[in-house]
């Protein structure tokens, strides 16, 4: 079956181009401070190229990130999985296995949601798919909101106990990809991270970011954070940032996770999610990746904010469960909100950190640097 292609447009000037192959987004244009739409995602020459080059802008599942040891135990039974990443003792199952959700042709329905135009992606992952138990019906909805946001809603149901951890592997670059993201400013609302050993397999420890290059609570220019990698063991082993940050959450709803801002283009992006964590990946392996314009991307040319439960959760008793049972519905929401650097209209000053309870009238907006 050949992939189908869809284009969503909002009256506010956003445009998205997406494919039924993996839910891959090949373009996302958002109005900048000057009102002119500009590209905010990296992309390859065609959706078929995205799997081989970092799962670019695709739906990831059944379980995003890494599962160690060739599988996991569930209700006393061993669920065996194929390795598709790493070598030797660092082999693991990455992003759902050799044929994950990014390679599936999804059924797609286009419709008008209350917040703006939407695409509904649905698929049935059969029992035993990539080693996962249970027939899993999955529904993912992309909504382009008139408020200049890309909202992603995930749903899944199963007929047998299984595990689920869905995400989107979007590569953001607020300059439109004309340069790398080293001068982008990044803030992550996380006091802890899941420590990773060789092959980025979690050790099970969840240390503080205090005193590390991963302390992004107050925000930092990415170039400055990565400059610490020779001295910081966490960054040195990963070649940059490629870590799950444990978000400082206060409830179960949609909460602030991160900010990305680019002074030169004047663009900013907030990440909001219902998930407990976010994998921040600074494009450490993008060198030589084919670009949509026929050129090549360089290392650190894009950055990902993969909202998720912690990596290797099925094998880590101390991490939150990603188990899904019959009769339950997996639900998750992530929103990428776009705006202008320093775009909050309140009187909080240049270091605005308003939350949803702020009474200044800014609507919980934050200034990106």
Could you read off the pLDDT of 74-84 as tens digits, one per residue? 999 999 999 99
Q: From 222, 212, 211, 152, select the one nearest 187 (Cα to Cα).
A: 222
Mean pLDDT score, 131-149: 98
**Predicted confidence band of residue 266 (pLDDT cuts 50, 70, 90):** very high
Going 59 to 107 to 18 to 263, the CA torsion angle's sign is negative
Mean pLDDT score, 259-274: 97
| pLDDT surpasses 60 at 269 | yes
For this structure, is 110 an active site residue?
A: no
Q: What is the pLDDT of residue 351?
A: 41
Mean pLDDT score, 44-62: 95
For this structure, is 77 an active site residue?
A: no
> Which of the residues 255, 270, 275, 306 is marked catalytic?
306
Q: What is the pLDDT of residue 229?
A: 77
What would the two tokens of residue 99 be?
């044929």
For residue range 180-201, list pLDDT tens digits in order.
999 999 999 999 999 999 889 9
**Predicted confidence band of residue 20 (pLDDT cuts 50, 70, 90):** very high
3-state secondary structure of 79: strand
For residue range 219-237, list pLDDT tens digits in order.
999 999 999 877 777 787 7
Fold classified for 5-340: Beta-galactosidase; Chain A, domain 5 (2.70.98)
* pTM across the whole model: 0.92
Q: What are phi and psi of 53, to 5 degrees?
A: -125, 60
| pLDDT surpasses 80 at 359 | no
| pLDDT surpasses 70 at 358 | no
Query: CB atoms < 10 A from the CB of 176, how many?
Result: 16
Cβ(161)–Cβ(79) below 8 Å: no
Where do the H-state alpha helices sit in the chain?
222-226, 233-238
Query: What is the Cα–Cα distance from 146 to 150, expressed in whole angstroms?
Result: 9
Q: From 159, 223, 215, select the one nearest 188 (Cα to Cα).
A: 215
Cβ(235)–Cβ(229) below 8 Å: yes
| pLDDT surpasses 50 at 368 | no
> Which of the residues 169, 184, 300, 301 is marked catalytic?
169
Q: C-alpha 60: how far from its chain's center? A: 9
Check whether the bond before 62 is cis (ω within 30° of 0). Answer: yes
| pLDDT surpasses 90 at 311 | yes
Q: What is the pLDDT of residue 228?
A: 85
| pLDDT surpasses 60 at 66 | yes
% helix, strand, coil for the chain, step of 5: 10, 40, 50
| pLDDT surpasses 70 at 135 | yes
Query: What is the Cα–Cα distance from 276 to 309, expressed in whole angstroms?
Result: 6
| pLDDT surpasses 90 at 354 | no
Q: Which residue has the higher pLDDT, 360 or 124?
A: 124
């Amino acid at each position: 079956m050949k992939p189908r292609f869809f284009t969503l447009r909002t009256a506010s000037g956003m445009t998205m181009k997406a494919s039924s192959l993996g839910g891959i987004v090949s373009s996302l244009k958002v109005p900048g401070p000057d009102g002119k739409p500009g590209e905010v995602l990296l992309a390859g020459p065609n959706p078929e190229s995205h799997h081989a080059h970092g799962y670019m802008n695709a739906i990831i599942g059944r379980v995003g990130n890494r599962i160690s040891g060739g599988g996991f135990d569930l209700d006393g039974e061993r669920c065996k999985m194929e390795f598709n990443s790493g070598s030797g003792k660092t082999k693991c199952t990455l992003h759902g296995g050799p044929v994950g959700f990014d390679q599936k042709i999804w059924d797609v329905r286009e419709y008008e949601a209350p917040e703006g135009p939407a695409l509904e992606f649905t698929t049935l992952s059969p029992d035993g798919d990539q080693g996962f138990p249970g027939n899993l019906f999955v529904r993912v909805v992309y909504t382009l909101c008139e408020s200049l946001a890309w909202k992603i809603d995930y749903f899944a149901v199963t007929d047998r106990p299984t595990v689920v951890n869905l995400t989107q592997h979007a590569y953001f670059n607020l300059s439109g990809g004309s340069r790398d993201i080293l001068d982008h400013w990044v803030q992550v609302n996380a006091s802890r991270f899941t420590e990773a050993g060789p092959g980025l397999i979690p050790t099970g420890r969840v240390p503080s970011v205090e005193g590390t290059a991963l302390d992004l609570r107050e925000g930092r220019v990415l170039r400055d954070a990565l400059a610490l990698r020779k001295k910081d063991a966490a960054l040195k082993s990963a070649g940059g940032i490629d870590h799950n940050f444990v978000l400082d959450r206060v409830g179960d709803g949609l909460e602030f996770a991160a900010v990305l801002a680019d002074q030169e283009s004047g663009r900013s992006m907030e990440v909001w999610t219902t998930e407990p964590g976010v994998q921040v990946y600074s494009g450490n392996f993008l060198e030589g990746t084919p670009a949509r314009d026929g050129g090549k991307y360089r290392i650190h040319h894009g950055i990902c904010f993969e909202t998720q439960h912690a990596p290797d959760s099925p094998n880590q008793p101390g991490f939150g469960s990603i188990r899904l049972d019959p009769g339950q519905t997996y639900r998750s929401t992530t929103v990428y909100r776009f705006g202008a650097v320093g775009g909050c209209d309140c009187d909080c000053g240049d270091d605005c950190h308003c939350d949803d309870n702020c009474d200044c009238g800014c609507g919980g907006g934050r200034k990106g640097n």
